[in-house]
């Protein structure tokens, strides 16, 4: 005011003329300052200033609008703590509020849930809520469910458990919209509903419990989804977002309750914990909200990214799997496709191409698996991969992921057995069953001369046997066993293999715990490939039941001997007093300083030749341990000796009885009972022991 006193009257008039247009702004400034001063005085008295963000629904899919109230705060619903829900991303991907309440994409692998939860604390509550019967009204039901609950998370859990254990998916209503209702009262009355019914009744129950809950609609990769599908329209699924302690979380009670059969006509209750407070970075794998803000992610995913992304089903994460490659759902193949999966712990896997399990080689790793797929023909194929916890008591394999393979060329060499035993190759599982330190670590062995060997270190209680099979031509049961020769030295076992002709073979190894039973369980297998047209190996010599696993044969290894030839024999047979060869005459072998028996005989005039032993020199009998066929008689089956001991009171050697079963739920659960007769020709009787395991599909 002292400044105005020094101005003349003319100067004061000119100043008023120039400043008059600014008068309204000046008055506003004065008012605001006065209001702020008053507000600050009030807040200083209360101790702090409060800003609250509220979220309001818009149509079916909520839009996150913010309402600010200065100084007054928000009146919280009963049993709900008042917290600011700051930082939701708006439609232009700009961030509002002080702190973003979103989760980072991609998933960091730390937690399947959007908050840290100890599920063990809910055991008693889960048991109670899942057994509460239906009531006449939603309000009465919620009152029963909330008994004994204090925190919002407990109330939410009780509601979740009841809905997922009592509401059945309305498969008839899905195909006939006129016959279904989404109202909570109708869902409660009928005990059925589609996704809209699940989400509506869940929303009303939460509202009655004082928990803020929204209904979210969008696209989903659920029933009838195929890799590469494009999504249009207003969405085909509904789920819920709930607010706990000021933060939003996602859940889907429809998918948490169970799953629908492939034809869509049958619903099965199968509780799925995965869809309760799922981490948003995982939830977006199969849920895409029409309002992108309900992804709760930063950055948000576009619809195209959602469509192009590989679908990792809930079973993928429930099984402790971490990643899969390739990441695209569609694969272009030139005859071979490789898929790898990483896991947090050892897991069992199985694969199928168009519903068949014999078009690929699956190998287990401690941290996952690898599968090489060979489509049988040009065109489009569906590859499905399943997983199981080896410690689980259930035979159920969960469907974890699926690919579409577009094959442009076929690898005609890879024609596997119809009953191919997967997994192939040594692994943590074969070690668990007693096969350690394998000499061949790869699942496929290529041989140019048609011969190969497989060695292992084994425990003393384990007895082994092996069989060689192919689909190139028919092999008799006797040939399947006699193209493999087994020997053991100490704790080391070796399988010698010589293939009869070029082709693709599978060597299957079975084991038996000597102290428990006579059943031989499948342990491990290899693929053997030979493309040399000159290969034509005969069988190994026939081993009688008296041949022991610690015996070792050096020569001759061929079970078919040339006619009119001098043949040298060398073998290690510990603990016996005599080893002889019975041709036309009997020839005793000599024991060398190296512990091997050796000698020779001629094959002239012989149909077959037998190797015999005496355990004690005073024994009057000799037992047959090996049998050879002489070449000019090889067209016929090996003759069965009338007696296998040289004695006037001779008796046939004991016939070994082997029962082979698969140790995996993924195989066909057949027992092969092999009974070796006096001629050691095998007879097989197939005995089904269990049905093929179901494959869980979300």
What is the per-residue pLDDT across 468-478, written as a single tens digit (0 to 9) for each?
999 989 999 99
For the chain, count helices (H), then strands (E): 15, 41
Could you read off the pLDDT of 1-33 as tens digits, one per residue?
A: 445 555 566 666 666 656 656 655 555 554 444
Does residue 665 carry a pLDDT above 80?
no
User: Shortest CA distance to 321 belongs to which of 276, 368, 282, 281?
Assistant: 368
Chain centroid to CA 388 = 5
Could you read off the pLDDT of 569-614 as tens digits, one per residue?
A: 999 999 999 999 999 999 999 999 999 999 999 999 999 999 999 9
Could you read off the pLDDT of 164-182 as tens digits, one per residue?
A: 999 999 999 888 887 877 7
**Residue that is written with structure tokens 């859940």 in the block:** 251
Let me know if 33 is a catalytic residue.
no
What pTM did the predictor assign?
0.73
- Tell me what pLDDT residue 392 has: 85
Quickly count: other Cβ atoms within 10 Å of residue 533's Cβ: 8
- β-partners of residue 218 are 237, 289
- Tell me what pLDDT residue 156 has: 98
**Residue 511 tokens, joined:** 């084991």
Quick one: CA torsion of 598, 599, 602, 607, rounded to 10 degrees? -40
Tell me the mean pLDDT in the region 383-406.
92
- Tell me what pLDDT residue 8 has: 64
C-alpha to C-alpha distance for 695 and 201, rounded to whole angstroms: 31
**Residue 71 tokens, joined:** 């100084």
**Residue that is written with structure tokens 């269990």 in the block:** 690
Pick the range with the lowest mean pLDDT from 189-193, 466-470, 638-642.
Answer: 638-642
User: Shortest CA distance to 478 belongs to which of 289, 284, 677?
Assistant: 677
Q: For residue 85, what pLDDT band results from cuts at 50, 70 and 90?
A: very low
Relative to beta strand 379-388, strand 492-498 is unpaired
**Residue 412 tokens, joined:** 């005609």
Let me know if 433 is a catalytic residue.
no
Is the alpha carbon torsion for 494, 364, 445, 376 positive or negative?
positive
- What angle do the packed helices 195-208 and 138-145 form, to 10 degrees? 60
Pick the range with the lowest mean pLDDT from 34-43, 353-362, 501-510.
Answer: 34-43
Contact 692, 386 (CB under 8 A): no
- Tell me what pLDDT residue 135 has: 85
**Residue 442 tokens, joined:** 């790869």
- The residue among 618 and 382 whose pLDDT is bigger is 382
Tell me the mean pLDDT in the region 111-133.
94
DSSP assignment of 673-690: EEEE-TT--EEEEEEE-S
- Tell me what pLDDT residue 103 has: 84
Relative to beta strand 397-407, strand 695-696 is parallel
DSSP assignment of 63-78: -----EEETT--PPPT
**Residue 571 tokens, joined:** 């073998």
Q: Which one from 152, 166, 170, 195 is the annotated catalytic residue?
A: 195
Contact 239, 251 (CB under 8 A): yes
- Tell me what pLDDT residue 529 has: 95
C-alpha distances (whole Å) from 691 to each of 508, 634, 670, 688, 694 are 22, 42, 9, 8, 9
Quick one: CA torsion of 447, 448, 449, 454, rounded to 10 degrees? -10
- Tell me what pLDDT residue 14 has: 66
- The residue among 668 and 235 whose pLDDT is bigger is 235
C-alpha to C-alpha distance for 142 and 342, rounded to whole angstroms: 43
Residue 463's SS3 state is: strand
Give the CA radius of gyration of the chain: 38
Tell me the mean pLDDT in the region 386-397.
89
What's phi and psi for 21, nearest 5 deg?
Answer: -60, -20
Let me know if 206 is a catalytic residue.
no
Contact 566, 555 (CB under 8 A): no
- The residue among 507 and 694 whose pLDDT is bigger is 507
Does residue 75 carry a pLDDT above 60?
no
Mean residue pLDDT across the chain: 80
Does residue 128 carry a pLDDT above 90?
yes
Does residue 657 carry a pLDDT above 60?
no
- Tell me what pLDDT residue 516 has: 75
**Residue 189 tokens, joined:** 């009355």
- The residue among 297 and 75 whose pLDDT is bigger is 297
Q: For residue 252, what pLDDT band results from cuts at 50, 70 and 90?
A: very high
Pick the range with the lowest mean pLDDT from 100-109, 362-371, 425-434, 633-642.
Answer: 633-642
C-alpha to C-alpha distance for 441 and 480, rounded to whole angstroms: 23
Q: For residue 638, what pLDDT band results from cuts at 50, 70 and 90?
A: very low
- Tell me what pLDDT residue 611 has: 96
Q: For residue 47, what pLDDT band results from cuts at 50, 70 and 90?
A: very low
Tell me the mean pLDDT in the region 485-511.
93
C-alpha distances (whole Å) from 467 to each of 6, 496, 509 are 118, 11, 7
Q: Which one from 237, 259, 279, 433 is the annotated catalytic residue?
A: 237
Is the alpha carbon torsion for 307, 311, 317, 321 positive or negative?
negative
- Tell me what pLDDT residue 667 has: 38
C-alpha to C-alpha distance for 224 and 232, rounded to whole angstroms: 15
**Residue 351 tokens, joined:** 């694969």
N residues, the chain? 698
- β-partners of residue 503 are 530
- Tell me what pLDDT residue 506 has: 95
- What angle do the packed helices 138-145 and 152-166 form, to 10 degrees? 120
User: Shortest CA distance to 424 belongs to which of 401, 441, 447, 446?
Assistant: 441
Contact 628, 618 (CB under 8 A): no
Q: Which one from 252, 372, 608, 680 is the annotated catalytic residue?
A: 252
- The residue among 54 and 353 whose pLDDT is bigger is 353
Residue 255's SS3 state is: helix
CB-based burial, 324-357: b 16+ in 10 Å, e otherwise = beeeebebebebbbebebebeebbbbbbbbeeeb
- The residue among 1 and 641 whose pLDDT is bigger is 1
Return the half-sphere exposure (C-beta side, CA atoms, 13 A cut-off) of residue 282.
27
Highest mean pLDDT among 92-106, 330-344, 627-641: 330-344
- Tell me what pLDDT residue 27 has: 52
């Amino acid at each position: 005011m002292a400044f105005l006193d020094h101005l003349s009257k003319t100067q004061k008039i000119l100043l008023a003329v120039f400043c008059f247009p600014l008068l309204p702004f000046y008055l506003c400034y004065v008012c605001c300052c006065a209001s702020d001063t008053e507000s600050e005085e009030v807040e200083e008295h209360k101790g702090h200033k409060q800003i609250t963000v509220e979220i309001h629904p818009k149509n079916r899919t909520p839009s996150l609008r913010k309402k600010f109230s200065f100084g007054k705060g928000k009146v919280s619903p009963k049993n709900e703590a008042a917290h600011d829900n700051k930082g939701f991303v708006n439609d232009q991907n700009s961030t509002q509020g002080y702190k973003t309440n979103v989760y980072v994409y991609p998933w960091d692998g730390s937690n399947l849930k959007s908050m840290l939860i100890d599920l063990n604390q809910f055991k008693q509550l889960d048991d109670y809520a899942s057994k509460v019967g239906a009531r006449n009204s939603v309000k009465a039901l919620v009152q029963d469910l909330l008994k004994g609950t204090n925190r919002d998370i407990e109330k939410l859990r009780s509601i979740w458990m009841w809905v997922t254990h009592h509401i059945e998916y309305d498969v008839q209503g899905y195909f006939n919209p006129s016959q279904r209702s989404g109202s909570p009262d109708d869902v409660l009355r009928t005990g059925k509903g589609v996704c809209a019914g699940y989400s509506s009744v869940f929303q009303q129950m939460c509202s009655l419990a004082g928990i803020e809950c929204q209904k979210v609609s969008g696209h989903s990769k659920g029933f009838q989804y195929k890799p590469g599908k494009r999504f249009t329209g207003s969405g085909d699924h509904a789920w819920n977002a709930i607010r706990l302690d000021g933060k939003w979380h996602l859940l889907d009670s429809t998918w948490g309750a169970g799953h629908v059969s492939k034809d869509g006509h049958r619903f099965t209750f199968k509780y799925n914990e995965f869809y309760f407070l799922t981490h948003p970075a995982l939830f977006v794998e199969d849920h895409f909200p029409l309002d992108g803000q309900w992804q709760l992610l930063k950055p948000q995913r576009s619809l195209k990214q959602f469509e192009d992304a590989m679908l990792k089903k809930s079973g993928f994460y429930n099984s402790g799997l971490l990643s899969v490659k390739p990441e695209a759902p569609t694969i272009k193949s030139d005859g071979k496709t490789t898929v790898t999966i990483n896991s947090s712990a050892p897991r069992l896997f199985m694969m199928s191409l168009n519903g068949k399990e014999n078009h690929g080689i699956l190998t287990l790793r401690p941290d996952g698996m690898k599968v090489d797929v060979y489509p049988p023909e040009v065109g489009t194929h569906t590859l499905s991969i399943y997983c199981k916890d080896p410690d689980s008591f259930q035979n159920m394999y969960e469907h974890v992921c699926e690919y579409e393979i577009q094959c442009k060329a076929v690898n005609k060499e890879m024609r596997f057995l119809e009953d191919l035993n997967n997994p192939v190759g040594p692994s943590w599982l074969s070690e668990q069953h007693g096969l350690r330190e394998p000499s061949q670590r790869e699942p496929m062995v290529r041989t140019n001369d048609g011969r190969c060997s497989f060695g292992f270190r084994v425990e003393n209680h384990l007895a082994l046997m092996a069989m060689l099979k192919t689909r190139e031509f028919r092999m008799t049961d006797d040939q399947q066993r006699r193209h493999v020769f087994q020997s053991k030295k100490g704790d080391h076992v070796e399988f010698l293999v010589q293939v009869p002709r070029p082709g693709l073979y599978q060597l299957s190894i079975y084991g038996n715990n000597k102290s428990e039973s006579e059943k031989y369980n499948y342990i491990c297998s290899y693929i053997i490939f030979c493309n040399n047209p000159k290969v034509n190996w005969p069988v190994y010599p026939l081993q009688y039941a008296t041949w022991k696993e610690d015996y070792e044969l050096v020569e001759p290894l061929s079970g078919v001997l040339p006619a009119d030839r001098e043949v040298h024999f060398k073998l290690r047979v510990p603990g016996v007093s005599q080893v002889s060869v019975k041709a036309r005459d009997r020839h005793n072998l000599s024991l060398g300083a190296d512990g091997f028996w050796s000698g020779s005989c001629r094959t002239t005039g012989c149909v077959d030749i037998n190797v015999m032993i005496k355990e004690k020199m005073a024994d009057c009998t000799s037992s047959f341990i090996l049998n050879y066929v002489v070449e000019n008689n090889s067209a016929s089956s090996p003759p069965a000796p009338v007696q296998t001991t040289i004695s006037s009171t001779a008796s046939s050697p004991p016939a070994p009885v082997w029962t082979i079963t698969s140790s995996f739920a993924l195989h066909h659960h057949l027992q092969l009972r092999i009974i070796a007769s006096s001629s050691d020709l095998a007879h097989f009787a197939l005995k089904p022991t269990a049905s093929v395991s179901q494959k869980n599909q979300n």
